[in-house]
Structure 1
């Protein structure tokens, strides 16, 4: 197709989107400009001042990528939009992300059996047998308690470990976003890369949520979790408490693991937004469940993290550790798996079994 035909097709696709009442790519990128000025600059400065350099860098990287790619992506995605309409398929013009046509494969089946406890700041409680002297705290991803996966997994851990499991409401009832907004944009297995349009839409969503992200930055939510753990120890009499964290919650687990008075052991699953210095500060036994493909915990940092633990062997301050890589998986597999993909299903089940085995080893009943 020559240049004139390409431009005509792109304009036609834009006009069709407007007639259908759908948000167009141009509108989406215009909104990014507005949100960047109103929210992102403020949030980035605030994150730097609050001592959250990793998250501040993430914002800068997202905006920089958007600026470099927006022009060429506009033309390409408008052409793709026209092609998709010709094929009779729906296309989300909001920065070009494909609608999730195969259902919510990231929501686990079943219904929770535990309860929300108002006296514990709205935490979800999955009870073990009466008189348990150990407990596990489940630290959620950014979707928080509204995504029922955390409750279902807490129920399973309570059954398997025969102990109480608590899921804190890290975001005070207001998670950053709904899972249906972001999860359809994310790869659900290794070998599947985000398109430029999906990256832009994900960046747009993060920019729109910048004030909430700042209000619920890791230093704030980690303090909430630590306060709940202290209350559980004092009021419930638990002798040993472990934590398992996923994605955002994995980063919180790393932070909390720096204080052996807070936790006795941790499991970290595909964490997001951690640094080598935070890994070096871990003071309790730590197991890691790692994705094959993970934009948040990539190969370089994953290898460095294990090397930091290995370097402590035979020295004062050594703690037990293990790293397990799950073939065919992507970020999120251990808590939001697409169970229709065999390798992802195996990874999810493997990470859950790893968690149970680790706590049975490090939190003896």
Structure 2
């Protein structure tokens, strides 16, 4: 498994994060808490890309989920060693950055223990049900949690580091978590042939808990979290992936329900 060039490309988004940092059993985590009443026994785990939850883009998305009534926690799986933001902003630094060296320090097996610590600590606080949304690198961890049925709903946007078809066949055989995939046109990590294999394995009601793949034509890997919002296609893809994620969570018991469901914020 390895990272591709598009895993470290994208745009740093502007905005003022509204959540807060919290140390959960020693793991720094960015937390978005809804205002007013919300389901306190449920948490959405926000599993970041390689830039970690320090990236404003990630924090703004966490805030958006909270604004839609879903408490969201983004653990720092890289212990403040996410890829530096200037790699996004400088072609020269991006070319010079050693992806292999960084990945050797932060394989999914290394990132998993901090995530497990956060989940265990949240359980002691009364959380009984988890969902997970993962972007790029984080998509791999969504699958790993689903394989153990730790989560009750899964969302993976342009996931990286998957083994196709193996991971989808395993998902079919061992997981009970409904799965939403947000996919796109240009994606070396999850290209269209792999997307079609996922459909063939899980689609057509083969996966009884629920499966859906949204496809954002003209977008490229990273669009749902690092897309260039000045590009109408990428902006529509980013917003569409978020709306699809919130709708999926509402459908499977997270956030306001029925007549109480609020409009998905753009």
Higher helix share: 1
Q: 1:138 aligns with which of 46, 55, 58?
A: 46
Q: 1:156 aligns with which of 61, 64, 72?
A: 64
- In structure 2, stretches of 5+ residues that fail to align are 256-266
- The aligned runs of 1:235-250 (5 Å cut-off) are 235-250=124-139
Higher relative contact order (CA 8 A, sep 6+): 2
- In structure 1, stretches of 5+ residues that fail to align are 1-53, 63-103, 186-197
- Residue 124 of structure 1 aligns to a residue in which SS? strand
Is structure 2 residue 161 aligned with structure 1 residue 273? Answer: yes
Q: Is the 8 A contact 2:108 2:141 kept in 1?
A: yes
TM-score of the pair, normalised by structure 2: 0.83
TM-score of the pair, normalised by structure 1: 0.62
Is structure 2 residue 12 aligned with structure 1 residue 107? Answer: yes
Structure 1 position 159, deviation (Å): 0.9
C-alpha separation between the residues in 2 aligned to 1:250 and 1:203? 24
Decide which structure has the larger Cα Rg and report it. 1
RMSD (CA atoms): 2.4
C-alpha separation between the residues in 1 aligned to 2:86 and 2:239? 23
Residue of structure 1 in register with 2:141 after alignment: 252
What is the aligned length? 244
C-alpha separation between the residues in 2 aligned to 1:184 and 1:290? 26
Structure 1 position 220, deviation (Å): 1.7
Q: Is the 8 A contact 2:140 2:162 kept in 1?
A: yes
C-alpha separation between the residues in 2 aligned to 1:223 and 1:183? 31
C-alpha separation between the residues in 2 aligned to 1:184 and 1:321? 38
Evaluate the alpha carbon distance shift between residue 211 and residue 343 of structure 1 in structure 2; reply closer, same or farther with a 3 A threshold: closer
Moved over 6 A (4+): none
Q: Is the 8 A contact 2:24 2:121 kept in 1?
A: no
Evaluate the alpha carbon distance shift between residue 119 and residue 310 of structure 1 in structure 2; reply closer, same or farther with a 3 A threshold: closer
Is structure 2 residue 57 aligned with structure 1 residue 167? Answer: no
Is structure 2 residue 239 aligned with structure 1 residue 349? Answer: yes
Q: Is the 8 A contact 1:144 1:169 kept in 2?
A: yes
Higher strand share: 2
